Amino acid sequence: MNLCDDGAQLNLLPGSGGWAEYLRVPNADLDCIVLPDNVNELSAAALGCRYMTAWHAVHDQAAIRGAETSVVHGCGGVGLAAVEIAACLGGDVVAVDVDDAKLDLARALGARATLNVAA
């Protein structure tokens, strides 16, 4: 496990460590997913954690059906991905944030309307 100079652990899950150059994957058939040939490394890096979290939320958990109105509150990494995914799956998307730059990106990714709720 990689540790910081002061001995602190970098991790999300206790004991998992972080910033390693190599990673042991004992159950590779289950824990690894083969990337399609035409998905490049940049897209794969972007998919990790934030994008796939938004996918599960919109596609599996909220189980969006075509043309449903969807409001995404917070346009950070997960929120922006939720905007693109909901729009791709046919949703009518409204994005809410307090930052115009993030809302501009949300619109470029498919939001029909944006709402800046900064006080």
- Contact positions vs other proteins (CB under 8 A): 30-31, 33, 35-40, 42-43, 45-47, 49-62, 64, 68-82, 84-86, 88, 91-92, 94, 96, 99, 101-102, 105, 108-109, 112-115, 117
Quick one: angle between helices 100-108 and 77-88, nearest 10?
30
Backbone angles phi, psi at 92, to 5 degrees: -100, 105
Terminal Cα-to-Cα distance of the chain (whole angstroms): 44
Q: Smallest gap, in angstroms, from Cβ of residue 1 to other proteins? A: 19
Question: Considering beta carbons, is residue 7 or 37 the nearer one to other proteins?
Answer: 37
